Amino acid sequence: MKFSISPELFNYIAITFARFKWQLLAWCLFFFVLFIGLQSQIKMQTPSVLVWLAILILFIAIESLVISAFMFFFQVLPSTREENASWYRFYRTIEWCETILFAILLPLPIVLFCYAFIRL
């Protein structure tokens, strides 16, 4: 059975954008610091636009962290280097678990932000 989402697809995407992983981590750190700075400025009389901007910055920081973690996990697939059949199956199981996990985690911050925006 051929799946459209597979460790090989994620590996290809991670290799394609691998040069950006450290920049994404730097942006993540910057956005977390910016969020902490904005959070200290938010009081009861703060306009809602500034509150939503702070929340958006937090979700951007989380999303960039998830994407950079994705690139670190899928840049090299250990199963491609393994010759022992039992270790190959073990690595493939781990790779499929990571694939399922990141298939859920990658869109999650965006979906949660949209849900928060719609609900509030």
pTM, full prediction: 0.87
**DSSP string spanning the chain?**
---SS-HHHHHHHHHHTGGGHHHHHHHHHHHHHHHHHHHHH--TT--HHHHHHHHHHHHHHHHHHHHHHHHHHHSS-GGGG--SHHHHHHHHHHHHHHHHHHHHHTTHHHHHHHHHHHH-
pLDDT > 90: what percent of the chain? 78
Distance CA 28, CA 23 (A): 8
- Joined tokens for residue 6: 């597979």
**pLDDT at 44 (0 to 100):** 82
**pLDDT at 1 (0 to 100):** 61
- Joined tokens for residue 53: 């901007």
